[in-house]
A and B are shown apart, each in its own frame.
Chain A
């Protein structure tokens, strides 16, 4: 199963260039066309939070460094080869 993640977008920093939206592999980001920030620009939002995998492609592409990315911590599974009693 794919990992889960989420992003936080600084609305006032975002300029609505759409580069994060077109490069999101799961298409979970979208430009909010019904609202603007104080500069009068549409801003990007996490439209489908359940689809985000925390790959940070949006953050790499964002020219204005408006995106912060978080990803679910990996659970450390016990290594079956090193387990003493299982064999």
Chain B
């Protein structure tokens, strides 16, 4: 460090030195970084347990220097439920993509939220099955071209894209639901604050916390990282608006 300068930001020590296998510009790694910054700031490295999904982030346990557990495809919510019930003093989160949480794991996710299980969902929604080559997911937008719908998603046969954050915000026992993104520095800082808030609500035992990240997938959207941010603003945010959908603390104040 040069003399007269102070450190403003450095890579969190809770992130391992291993190079992340994600594509350049992918928000998976951005969210990994934010989660580990929060773990470092709150000094909860020994108390945090994460549950990995199946998908692009299947190797998340290589990069996050905390206790991790791999789950079967879509079953991360069920595994996290078990961990949190056995070890209630731990901070537990399930880290899932849209193919995992919104497709094969919908039942586990909805029932865990309906029971108000006291852990945090980090839901990365990029509207596509990223790892397997960009097939259509339940969250794929109307008209979006993927490898299994080369003429664009037809909502008459495939249905409308699932708005998981809105669906989950209707459950009584859910404490906090927010949709965030990382397309600008301001939104990225908001995303970090949202994840921190979710962890804090969990420590207070308020119920399920759910953070949806409107993510990009430059490789499978066939765009550069820069273009993928524009696509997010133009196509994704009008359908998946960034907002806080449920906050029990605010609801209690209003009563």
> Interface of A with B (CB < 8 Å)?
5-6, 10, 12-13, 15-19, 22-23, 41, 54, 56-57, 59-73
Contact = CB atoms under 8 A, between A and B. Distances in A.
Given A60-B185, A61-B188, A63-B25, A69 B8 contact: yes
Interface string B1-31: 1101111111110010001101111111110
How big is the B interface, by class? 20 to 34
Nearest to A58: B185
A57 B30 CA distance: 13
B225 interface: yes
A15 B219 CA distance: 13
Contacts of A62: 30, 33
B189 interface: yes
28 contacts: A15-B23, A17-B225, A19-B25, A19-B229, A22-B229, A23-B185, A41-B24, A54-B8, A56-B9, A59-B8, A59-B9, A60-B9, A60-B189, A61-B182, A62-B30, A63-B25, A63-B33, A64-B19, A64-B29, A65-B12, A65-B29, A65-B33, A69-B9, A70-B1, A71-B6, A72-B4, A72-B5, A73-B4
B8 A71 contact: yes
Given A17-B225, A41-B24, A70 B182 contact: no
B14 to A, nearest CB: 11
A23 B95 CA distance: 27
A17 B9 CA distance: 20
B188 A70 contact: no
Given A5-B8, A17-B225, 6 more contacts: A17-B25, A18-B226, A22-B229, A65-B15, A69-B9, A70-B8
B224 interface: yes
A73 B8 CA distance: 10
B50 to A, nearest CB: 17
A70 to B, nearest CB: 4
